């Protein structure tokens, strides 16, 4: 049964003094559709050949994990 996007939102703030794991939480980006891993073939080749792989992987995962579709 559709809920029409009804629900609650929680705001979590990490305790810096206690090095809380909640400091790792990030904001969600709302999108019309799911983001692609790469923004085209040229971006894929450039990233694969010349970019720092760890930074590239992290950015790709963040884009997917912290996105929510509006549908």
Report pLDDT digits (tens) over 48-60.
889 898 998 888 8
Report pLDDT digits (tens) over 11-27.
877 777 877 777 777 88
Give residue 7's pLDDT band: very low, low, confident or very high (50, 70, 90).
confident
pLDDT at 64: 87
Residue 1 predicted with pLDDT over 60: no
Helix (H, G, I), strand (E, B) or coil at 29: strand
Q: 14, 64, 55: which is closest to 35 by C-alpha? A: 64
User: Is the pTM of the predicted complex or chain greater than 0.75?
Assistant: no
Say which residues have a Cβ less than 8 Å from residue 71's Cβ, sequence separation at least 6.
Answer: 32, 33
- For residues 4 and 42, the answer to whether their CB atoms sit within 8 Å is no
């Amino acid at each position: 049964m559709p809920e029409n996007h009804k629900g609650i939102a929680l705001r979590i703030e990490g305790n810096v003094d206690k090095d809380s794991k909640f400091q790792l939480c990030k904001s969600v980006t709302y999108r019309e559709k799911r983001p692609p891993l790469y923004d085209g073939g040229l971006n894929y080749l450039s990233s694969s050949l010349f970019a720092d792989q760890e930074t590239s992987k992290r950015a790709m995962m963040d884009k997917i994990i912290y996105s929510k579709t509006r549908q």
